[in-house]
Amino acid sequence: MRLAQHMAVASERVRATAIEATEFPELSRAYQVMGVPKVVINDRVQFEGAVPEQDFLGAVLQAVGPA
Amino acid sequence: MNAMAILTERDRAAVRKEFEKLTGPVKLVVFSQELVAGDLCRQNEQLVRDVATLSDKLTVEVLNPAIDRERAEPYRVDQVPAIAVGGARAYGIRFYGIPSGYEFSNLIDSIIVASTGEPALSEETKASLQALAEDVDIKVFSTPT
């Protein structure tokens, strides 16, 4: 969440939501959360675990790129 | 859990120290709905009020998304309990569920970055993000540690 929230401050385009998985089991099921942290970007790109800033940015750019 | 103070004195001292970095005002908008999740919403609201006492740069607004529809709408929050963190603009930073453990640290960190408006990201990352032509929605699922 740390990188995501800094990205939200860096750009008006970015919205970051931290979701406490055990409090929202339906959302967690809908997004097939098995391990945490799990990151889902634009419901299109997802990954598990902490990643370096460059990889996180790569996932963001992939999520807005052509399908 | 003590109903009056969720944070320990040690937590409060640590957060107060972190809040020395605050430069601009931050609004914490709490989304509560008694009928949906009363206990969790009360605990969440108490936690935010507790945090807000630790700096005079912080203000708290509590909204019930079912009642305060117009005021809640711009935040696009569809779960309770939730917190939205805003600074110079309504940064799209939201926490669904009570932020505890690592997420509590993230809440404090988000307040600081919303206050300073200076994200700790490389120049390359900031340039890429500022060039985005589409909206980006990032969800980060975690569990309390």
Number of domains in chain A: 1
Asked if B33 has any chain A CB less than 8 Å from its own CB, the reply is no
**Domain architecture of chain B: domains with CATH:** 9-130 (3.40.30.10)
CA distance B53 to chain A (A): 23
Burial classification of residue B72, based on how many CB atoms lie within 10 Å of its CB (0-12 exposed, 13-18 middle, 19 or more buried): buried
What stretches of chain A show up as alpha helix (H) in DSSP?
2-10, 25-30, 53-64
- Angle among Cα B27, B31, B33 to the nearest 5 degrees reads 155
Q: A5 lies in a domain?
A: no
Q: Do the Cβ atoms of B111 and B26 come closer than 8 Å?
A: yes
Asked if B97 has any chain A CB less than 8 Å from its own CB, the reply is yes
CA distance B103 to chain A (A): 8
pLDDT digits (tens, 9 = 90+) for A31-57: 999 989 999 999 999 999 999 999 999
Better-scored residue on pLDDT, B142 or B3: B142
Q: What is the CATH number of the domain that holds A34?
A: 3.40.30.10
Q: Check: pTM over 0.90? Answer yes or no.
A: yes
Asked if A45 has any chain B CB less than 8 Å from its own CB, the reply is no
pLDDT digits (tens, 9 = 90+) for B41-100: 999 999 999 999 999 999 999 999 999 999 999 999 999 999 999 988 888 999 999 999
